[in-house]
Amino acid sequence: DAKTTQPNSMESNEEEPVHLPCNHSTISGTDYIHWYRQLPSQGPEYVIHGLTSNVNNRMASLAIAEDRKSSTLILHRATLRDAAVYYCILRDVVTGGGADGLTFGKGTHLIIQP
Amino acid sequence: AAGVIQSPRHLIKEKRETATLKCYPIPRHDTVYWYQQGPGQDPQFLISFYEKMQSDKGSIPDRFSAQQFSDYHSELNMSSLELGDSALYFCASSFVLGELTGELFFGEGSRLTVL
């Protein structure tokens, strides 16, 4: 699987936007970019995914660079409940497929200050 | 909405004993995944099953085995337990058929402590 690189930790203030970066310079054309997060003492939770175009859902937005070598997860208005570890994961739909396991790397610890 | 159910939530075993964890996926989900998360570590993929057949295998020790049953629930069997097996074990499910990028839904985990 292609690797991703994320900062170890980031800090933000409550009610402000948060931009979480992810580098994936070896991404292949069939890799989808997935984001999951893990709140303290809970199982991971799906946030968003995309292939080439920017994506929006009720939780967040995903901005994908034109060359797809990096992406940014955007939380528009962070709350204390958004404090979690955020994982950027590449998922190959050709060699991988839906039933293959996701590989969690070192995510970003997001700290939200009140 | 129904979520992934894992049991037991907590389990304490002695070294060299055997443990079995159970996972009940979301109704109509056809794929189950098992993950292990040690203290302060990131989740590590162990194994997955699609339509009751093993689909993918990660870093699952030979002492561990798993299967998915006809009702789609799954069990993770761990034998000759070691202290290092103490971890949170997460099960996840998804609906894969026709959706290669389906999201995984995770349970709340089973905490295994080996003494």
Q: Looking at residues B93-103, what average pLDDT do you find?
A: 73
Give the pLDDT of residue B97: 67
Are B104 and A106 inside 8 Å of each other by CB? no
A42 DSSP 8-state letter: S
Of A93, A105, A106, the CB nearest to B100: A93
Q: Is B17 on the interface with A (CB under 8 A)?
A: no
Of A32, A36, A38, the CB nearest to B101: A32
- When pLDDT is cut at 50, 70 and 90, the band that residue B77 belongs to is very high
Give the pLDDT of residue A100: 81
Q: Looking at residues B8-26, what average pLDDT do you find?
A: 97
3-state secondary structure chain B: CCCCEEECCEEEECCCCCEEEEEECCCCCCEEEEEEECCCCCCEEEEEEECCEEEEECCCCCCEEEEECCCCCEEEEECCCCHHHCEEEEEEEECCCCCCCCCCEECCCEEEEEC
Are B100 and A98 inside 8 Å of each other by CB? yes
Using an 8 Å Cβ cutoff, are A86 and A78 in contact? no
Within 8 A of B96 by CB-CB distance, chain A residues are 97-99
Of B4, B58, B105, the CB nearest to A101: B58
Q: Looking at residues A61-87, what average pLDDT do you find?
A: 97
More confident residue, B92 or B96: B92
Are A49 and B101 inside 8 Å of each other by CB? yes
Model confidence pLDDT, tens digit, residues B19-47: 999 999 999 898 999 999 999 999 999 99
Maximum separation of any 2 CA atoms in chain A, in Å: 44
Omega cis (within 30) before B8: yes
Q: How many CB pairs under 8 A join A and B?
A: 73
